[in-house]
Amino acid sequence: ALAQTVILVDGLGPVPVVKGDPKLLPRKVLQFVAQKAFLMRPRAIYICDGSIYERDEMARKLTAQGVLKKLGAYSDAYIARTSPEDTARVEARTFVTTKSKKVTETKKPDKGSSEIARWMSPEQLSDELDARFPFCMRGRMMYVLPFSMGPIGCQFSKNCVQLTDSPYVVLVTRIMARVSPAVLDAIGDGDFVKCIHSVGVPRPSVVKIPHNWPCAPSKLIIAHRMEKKEIWSFGSGYGGNSLLGKKCVALRLASSMGKAEGWLAEHMAIISVTNPKGEETFIAAGMPSGCGKTNLALMKPALPGWKIQLIGDDIAWMRFGKDGKLYAMNPENGMFGIAAGSTDRTNPGALTALKRDFVVTNTAETSDGRYLWQGLEDEIKGQEVTDWKGKAWKKGSKAPPAHANSRFAVHCADYPNIHPLWDSPKGVPISAIIYGGRRPAGIPLVTESFSWSHGVFLAAALKSEATAASVPAATSDLQHDPMGMRPFIGYNFGDYLKHWLSMEKPGRRMPKIFHVNWYRCHPVTGELLWPGFGENIRVLEWIIKRTTKGQYPAVLKSAYGYLPRQEDLSLCGLQVDFKELFKVEKKFLETELKETRDYFRAQLYKETPARIGIELSEFEDRITRM
Ligand code: PGA
Ligand code: MN
Ligand code: MN
C-alpha cells in the first residue's frame, strides 16, 4: 500500500490528509485541527493553499455535484446555485457569547430581545454546539483554510484558520480573503482566530438535498465566542453565514477587539475621489446591506474629469495615526456584491470587474455561458436562459431570473479602477464619513452634521428599508440600523456609541460626518427624486468642498443639520426638484425624534450615552424653534 499522510487524532487514530503537509502546520493549528477532527469526524483532511489548482479542484468537485457550472464566456468563472432555503444571512440565529452578559447587551427595561448583538451564555452555547457539531462531518472532507484579514503578516491584520466541509466556501474564501500557506508562517507560535463551519449534513444523508446544496436551516446557528476568538457556524453554506472572515471576523469580532484596543471595525466602503484638478480625497461610506456601498465604490462619475477608485466596498478598519488623521484599511481581498440589478447604468464597474476568476451565486445564466440577472434582460439575443433555481426562464416570466440577494464574488485586484493603496496595511486618510439608508420620505439628499457628536447621533439614528440581504425581508418597512451596523456590532450598543464618541480627542483631525439619502421619493407621485448612481458624484463634490480647507461654501442651517444652498450643488444638465429633495418638515422631524427616542430607550435604556441624550434634546429644541 502507498504510504499515506495522516494526522493522528487522540482517541480516534490516523485521519488521512489528502492534500497538504500537516508537518508544516504550526503546533497550535495542528492541535486545533486534530481536536476538531475528533469532534466532527471527517473522512479526511485537506489543507488548503489558495492556489488556482485548488480552485480548479473545488470547481470540478462542485460541478460533479451539480452545484456549479462553468460560465464559458469568461475565463475561470462559475455560477453556483444554493438551496432556495439558504440564500441570505440569518440575523435571528446569530449570537455573541461572552462570560458577562453586559459586555454584549445593554440591560433592557423588559425582557425584549436585543436587536443588536444577541447574547448567548457560554453554557447555552456549549449545549447548542453539543447538539450539532459531534460527527457533523461524517463522510465529508474537512478543509483547513488558513486566511488573513488584511495583508498577510501585517501589524493590524488578523490570522484565521477556518475548518469547513464546504468546497464552495473554499472556492469563495479564496477570492474574499487572503488564503495562503504564508498565513501559517505568519501564525508561527502565535494565536489565530478559530473558525469552525459545517453545512450540518453528515453522510449518508437521510434527507433529500435540494439542488445538491447541503444545509440545515432548522439547526442554523452562527456564534461568536469573543473571549476565545472562536466563530462557530452550522447549517448554512451561504455568504455571511459561512464566509466567516467577512461579517463574523472582520466586523463582529473585530469591532469588539477595536473597542478594547481603541480602533473601529465598520460596515463601510472606502473610496478615493479625484476632482478634475487632480486633488484626491478619501471617503468612508457606511450603509446597511443593499443600500449602495458597492455601487458607490465602483461608481463611474457622471461629471467629466472626476474619478473614483476603490479601496474597499464593505468593511473598513479605522484607527487614528500619530499625525492625528483617521486611517481606513480594507481587510478583505474581494467583493461579495449584490448581482441582481447591477447594470451598465447602476454599476458599470461591477461589470468591468467580472471578466475572470469570479463566482456568481444564485444568478441566472444564458446558453452561451454568460451570467444574467434583473436589469440585463435586454442583452438576451435568442439565447436560452436558466434561472437561479435551474429552471428555463423567458423574458416576461413572472419570477425574476436571479434571486434578489444573488451575489458576485470577485478579486478587488481584478477591478480596473482599484486604488494603488487598496492593500496598504496602513490604509488611507479619511476626510469625510458619509452615512445613508433607503429613506423614501422626509430625509434630505445630503446633510452635514454640526459636530462629531451630532454626526455620531445622526449615524446612530440611521434607518433604512429592509433589503433581501438578510432573512426575513418580507416587509420593506423602515428598520433602525445604527451606522448600518445593526447585524454586525459585536458588543454592547451603548459601549459602541461611547466608543465612537470617544474618538474625538484634542490633536485629532476629525473627519466631517454627513448623511446622504439617494432614495427620497416625491410625496405625491412616489417617484425617486434623485437619479442616483453616477450622478451621486454631484453630492460628493459638495461634501468634498465642505471638507477641504479654504473652499467652504456657506450652508443653510436646518433642524436636521446643515444643508447645501442650491447654487453650491452642481446640478447642470439634471432636471431635479431641489425643493422636494431638501425639504425639512417639522411634523416629519417630530415623528423622527419620537421614534429615535423610543428606539434608544428600547435598545439602550439606561446605557444611552449622556452625549446622545444631549443630542436628542438639542434636536428637540431645534424642531421646537421651526
Ligand atoms: P451583506 O454581506 O449582506 O452586508 O451585503 C453579504 C453577506 O453577509 O451575506
Ligand atoms: Mn455588507
Ligand atoms: Mn456590497
Written as one string, the DSSP assignment of 195-214 is EEEE-S--SS-SS--GGG--
Residue type, 339: A
Candidate CATH numbers 1.10.3720.10, 2.170.8.10, 2.60.40.10, 3.90.180.10; the one for domain 52-80+334-416: 2.170.8.10
Percent of the chain with pLDDT over 90: 93
Q: How far apart are CA 221 and CA 367, in angstroms?
A: 37
Can you list the alpha helix ranges (DSSP code H) found in 219-376? 239-242, 254-261, 293-297, 348-353
Opening angle at CA 54, ends 51 and 60, nearest 5 = 145
What is the number of other CB atoms lying within 10 angstroms of the CB of residue 303?
Answer: 16
| Predicted pLDDT of residue 305 | 98
What are the two backbone dihedrals, phi and then psi, of residue 421, each rounded to the nearest 5 degrees?
-95, 15
Q: How far apart are CA 268 and CA 285, in angstroms?
A: 5
Q: Is the CB of 89 under 6 A from ligand 1?
A: yes
What is the number of other CB atoms lying within 10 angstroms of the CB of residue 531?
Answer: 15
CA of 533 to the centre of ligand 1 (A): 20
| Predicted pLDDT of residue 472 | 66
- The mean pLDDT value for 416-421 works out to 97
Contact 340, 399 (CB under 8 A): no
Q: Which of 48, 215, 248, 291 is catalytic?
A: 291
**Residue 521 annotated in active site:** no
Residue type, 44: A
- The mean pLDDT value for 401-417 works out to 97
To the nearest whole number, what is the mean pLDDT of the chain?
96
Residue 52 to residues 45, 61, 424, Cα–Cα distance (Å): 19, 14, 24
| Predicted pLDDT of residue 208 | 86
| Predicted pLDDT of residue 416 | 95
Among 336, 408, 470, 481, the mutation site with the greatest number of ligand 1 atoms within 8 A of its Cβ is 336
| Predicted pLDDT of residue 363 | 98
Cell of 494: 451603548
List pLDDT tens digits, range 155-187.
999 999 999 999 999 999 999 999 999 999 999
Predicted-complex ipTM score: 0.93
Strands 478-480 and 463-465: antiparallel
Considering only CA atoms, which of 276, 232, 286 is closest in space to residue 122? Answer: 232
| Predicted pLDDT of residue 466 | 85
Q: Is the CB of 336 under 6 A from ligand 1?
A: yes
| Predicted pLDDT of residue 48 | 98
- The mean pLDDT value for 46-68 works out to 97
Q: Is the CB of 192 under 6 A from ligand 1?
A: no
| Predicted pLDDT of residue 475 | 62
| Predicted pLDDT of residue 549 | 67
pLDDT higher than 90, residue 74 = yes
Nearest atom (ligand 1) to Cα of 469: 3
Helix pair angle (493-501, 254-261), 10° resolution: 50
Contact 218, 155 (CB under 8 A): no
CA of 2 to the centre of ligand 1 (A): 45
Q: How far apart are CA 217 and CA 200, in angstroms?
A: 9
Nearest atom (ligand 1) to Cα of 289: 4
List pLDDT tens digits, range 271-310.
999 999 999 999 999 999 999 999 999 999 999 999 999 9
The CATH number of domain 265-333+423-624 is 3.40.50.2020: no
List pLDDT tens digits, range 436-484.
999 999 999 999 999 999 999 999 999 999 877 777 655 668 999 999 9
Q: How far apart are CA 481 and CA 460, in angstroms?
A: 8
| Predicted pLDDT of residue 476 | 67
Closest Cα to atom 5 of ligand 1: 289
Extended beta strands in 133-215, E state: 141-149, 158-164, 178-179, 193-198
Nearest atom (ligand 1) to Cα of 314: 4
List pLDDT tens digits, range 522-577.
999 999 999 999 999 999 999 999 998 666 788 899 999 999 999 999 999 999 99
Cell of 543: 461634501
pTM above 0.90, yes or no: yes
DSSP symbol at 408: E
Per the listing, cell 456590532 goes with 489
Indicate the fold that domain 6-47+90-261 takes in CATH. Phosphoenolpyruvate Carboxykinase; domain 1 (3.40.449)
Q: How far apart are CA 427 and CA 442, in angstroms?
A: 35
Top-confidence residue, 550 or 34: 34
For CATH 2.170.8.10, list the domain ranges present in the chain.
52-80+334-416
Per the listing, cell 425617486 goes with 528
For CATH 3.40.449.10, list the domain ranges present in the chain.
6-47+90-261
| Predicted pLDDT of residue 213 | 97
| Predicted pLDDT of residue 7 | 93
